Structure 1
Amino acid sequence: MSARTRHKKDPQPACDQGELTSGPARRRILSAGLAGGALLMAGATGCATGGAGGTSAKQLTGSPGAALSGKVVIWSWDVAAKAMQRLGKAFEQAHPGTTVDVVDIGYDNAYDKISVGFGAGSGLPDILTVEGHKLPTYIGNFPNGLVDLTSRAAGLKSQYAEASWRTVTDAKGKVFALPWDSGPCALFYRRDLFQQAGIDPAGLATWDDYLTAGTALKAATGRKLLILDAKQDSFFAMLLQQQGQRWFTDGKVAVATPAAERALTLLKQLVDRDLVDFENGWSGLVSGTHDGKAATTPTAAWWDGTLTSDMADLGGKVGVVPLPAFTPGGPRTSNSGGSTLCVTAQSRNPETAWAFLSFLLADKANQASMMQHEGLFPAYLPALDDPYFQQPAPYYGGQPAMQLFAGLTRAIPTVELTADDSKAGDIVTTAVNQVLHNGADPGTVLRSAARQIATATGRQTVG
């Protein structure tokens, strides 16, 4: 689900919020994740209890082995909703007397509805779909709005990649959701254009290699190296997480760090060398990629759904390699997207809700099934051992592309997520645009952004 079905969004958090595209391209809607957060914050201000009341979050109190019954209502959208509708029938058969009602609320207004429900303390269903990078904001602003699942879920921690698990826990390690899908990142590339330029993609060990190759490729083919969104960049956040960081470190603002400056400097170098094709939103990325305006797409596994569905004519012309590293031997993946399922404190049937969560997300066969049918790349590690991930893929010239992503999932760097991520993300987007479109100095704009975030959040800055 974050396998998102996809929306007309960009490959990462900050994405275009236009109309939903149709067909498999929409898989990204869950997977890619929007970083803006304005809608979420609009409903989150002024209320810290989420209507749950009390001094601590509601917990599961029933017997784990007790018979299940009753109805659970779930809010989701697109392919994520379809996956739960499909597997909900199997859950009902396994547990007679239960009913799973999946309501597709659409993506465009989903977080408006969710935030209003938390703020009002009423109107929410039993289970919510929430993208991983957004969940910490809800946990922070509505600490009693979700059921504390720690007593049942804590033992599952080792079954998920650390980066995914971090999104569902609070600062004290309490568990408020289960990870659903994840967005391990790699570099998709056009085999035909690299061959035309005489470039071996296996040689792209570092981002310096990538820059050098981009210059040679453009000279030989006339094509740019990658597409960036003209308004809502998401590549910077991906590059930052590759270095094990996001907007905050140890609770302090960390957007003016050496890692952040390296990432934004790389973006500026790409622009200065005329290796970037700027397009508007998700539709621009899809059409630009299809038309061959750029030879690579550094993004997450869910891009596979868009490629194979909306760009079937490129079959055999696409390959995948790990992301280049910032330093030789450094991390060669990141994360873009990913989603979770959580039980609201307003649930009338939390035990059955939890049972459905664990049935769906802590089951190897079910997670692998959702990858095969809905393109939701599993966050549940045992599912990655399914034979499906080892299969050669004709679309990628026989390369077992999903096997590469399965291996990268365990290596995704973990980053700190906070209730202030949405505020920080908006400020960072403005800073990045100043560099991309006005030629501003990366270090200068990042220091300014750090000061703005500190003022907006009341946090100190690193250093």
Structure 2
Amino acid sequence: MAEPPMDRRGFLKGALGVGALAVTGGALAACAPTAPGGASAQPSRLARPTASASAKGEITIWNRSGDLFKVFDAAIAKFREAYPGVKVNHQAVDIDAKLANTLISGTDVPDGSFWDDARIGGQAEHLFDLTDLIAPYREQTSPYKLSVNTVEGRIYGVPWDLDPGLLWYREDILQDAGIDPAGLATYDDLLAAARTIKEKDPKTRPIHLDKNPFLGQLWLEMLANQQGTSLADAQGRLRLDSPEYRRIFTWIQSAVKEGLVTHAPYLEPADVNTLESGQQVFVPWAIWWSFAPQQLLKATKGKWRAAPLPAWTPGGARSGAMGGSSFIIPAKAKNPELAWLLYEFLCFKEPGYTAVYGPNPVYPGGLSTSIPSYQPALDPDKPLFQPIDALGGQDLWKISVEAAATIPAAGPIPWWWAQSVDYLGDNLQRLMEGAMTPDDVIAESARKIQRNLIDRS
């Protein structure tokens, strides 16, 4: 498949979908969602429209600029064929900077918008309650995507992408070391494989650990999600002090002490250089790491492969979610029923999801940095995107779909999640540097998150 050029800034903001992620000058910075304050209005419930192909009207839809905007623009053209009476004003907007304030002011709100899952829970009072609309599709939608869009039992986002975690590895180096990737069933197996590679070539530091606090914490949540937990439960109570998080932190500590990790910022030059040189061999990361071999890794293009993540315990889940986005309909939208018809078409209807993920003018082989969250679209034998030349022709679709089927549900993402990076994300970096213990990370992070964020809300 021919891989089109991809702008890295646009990719990170469009495909990542990881909360309030700002990209400036190659640096990544987090900005917290606005917390609801004062007396909250009862969210409006949107009933199922009776509109059909004869529906008429006009809607304004916001999306981020970049390649993903172009993908949705082409998919919206398919929607217009199904609903010729609906005019869609599709606008590229700096959503992170504009949407929250627009919802709060209630002025010039769009009829619908793309938004990161991490932002939705904090703005539920300004959004339509979509529970009744999602109901027909609920049993066939990823439990994880439903859980992160749910606040107090009600659903406020139309689930779009699912970003399963995968284990990316250098096939050639594993072959030289006599390691069968199929045998990497647990994280203990991964440590053992890293030791074998390091013994063969002492200059290697095989396992990638990310040096960015925000992405490091997002990665941590993927590993926690694998174990069926998350930073907060459905009631917003902190659950960092748990066997699941302690298991992750202890594993990181072991890998660091044994010199098995490369601690580098995500796809910055130091990271790319060590990936190309063979110093890094394993990258446990989301499906959207496929961007790296397709666009950035020149010397090792075609040598990388993907496998399910190892499990934390034998027989445990082989994937967790890392990031994600959905669609919201503001409570003050002028034509919410028509916005729902668009999102229903894109997420739950054929040819809508095929128009998004299948071959298109932007990605001739299809969009391969996430997969749909709607299970009928996830037939492992009917790929929406094609095998990828940069992965040696590997069928990433089938691997991702099978991994995604194991992702557990989670709790709603609390409004303070991005702010907690100042505590947990920073302390995680100290653990990776060998400057804190697992108990230190848990105790200090939990104390500060509880005192400075949860108790003040």
TM-score with structure 2 setting the length: 0.85
Q: List per-residue Cα deviations over 1:282-315 (Å, max 9, x = no partner).
A: 4344554344331111112222244223336534
Alpha-carbon distance between aligned partners in 2 of 1:147 and 1:229, rounded to the nearest angstrom: 37
Matches within 5 A, 1:233-382: 233=216, 234-251=218-235, 252-284=237-269, 285-286=271-272, 288-311=274-297, 314-372=300-358, 373-375=366-368, 376-382=370-376
After superposition, the Cα gap between the structure-2 partners of 1:156 and 1:335, relative to the gap in structure 1 and judged at 3 Å, is same
Alignment of 1:184-203 (within 5 A): 184-203=164-183
Structure 2 counterparts to residues 34-433 of structure 1, below 5 A: 38-41=31-34, 44=35, 46=37, 49=40, 54-60=41-47, 62-65=49-52, 67-77=54-64, 78-106=66-94, 110-139=95-124, 143=125, 145-172=126-153, 174-221=154-201, 222-232=203-213, 233=216, 234-251=218-235, 252-284=237-269, 285-286=271-272, 288-311=274-297, 314-372=300-358, 373-375=366-368, 376-385=370-379, 387-388=382-383, 393-417=388-412, 418-433=414-429
CA shift, 1:133, in A, is 2.8
Distance of aligned partners of 1:258 and 1:409 in 2 relative to their CA distance in 1, 3 Å threshold: same
Letter of the 1:224 partner, please give it: R
Q: Which residues of structure 1 form unaligned runs of 5+?
A: 22-33
Q: Which residue identity is paired with 1:328?
A: P
CA distance in 1, matches of 2:354, 2:15: 25
Cα distance, 1:363–1:306 mapped onto 2, change above 3 Å: farther
Deviations 1:209-266 (Å, cap 9, x if unpaired)? 1112112212323322232222321332221111111111353211111111111111
User: Which residues of structure 2 form unaligned runs of 5+?
Assistant: 1-7, 359-365
Amino acid at match of 1:378: P
Distance 2:17 2:329 in 1: 25
SS at match of 1:340: strand
Q: Sort the Cα spacing of 1:392 and 1:6 in 2 relative to 1 into closer, same or farther, 3 A.
A: closer
Letter in 1 for 2:11: R
Shift of residue 451, structure 1, vs aligned partner: 2.0
Q: Pick which of 265-274 and 414-423 moved more.
A: 414-423
Residue by residue over 1:147-204, the C-alpha shift from the partner in whole angstroms, topping out at 9 and shown as x without a partner, is 12222221110121101111222222x2222111111111011001111222221111
Q: What secondary structure sits across from 1:18 in the alignment?
A: strand
Q: What is the Cα-based RMSD across aligned positions, in Å?
A: 2.9
The answer to whether the 8 Å contact 2:253/2:434 transfers is no
Aligned residue pairs: how many? Answer: 431
How much identity, in percent, do the aligned residues show?
26
Mapping 1:13-52, distance limit 5 Å? 13=18, 17-19=22-24, 38-41=31-34, 44=35, 46=37, 49=40
SS at match of 1:253: coil
Provide the secondary structure at the position in 1 that maps to 2:172: helix
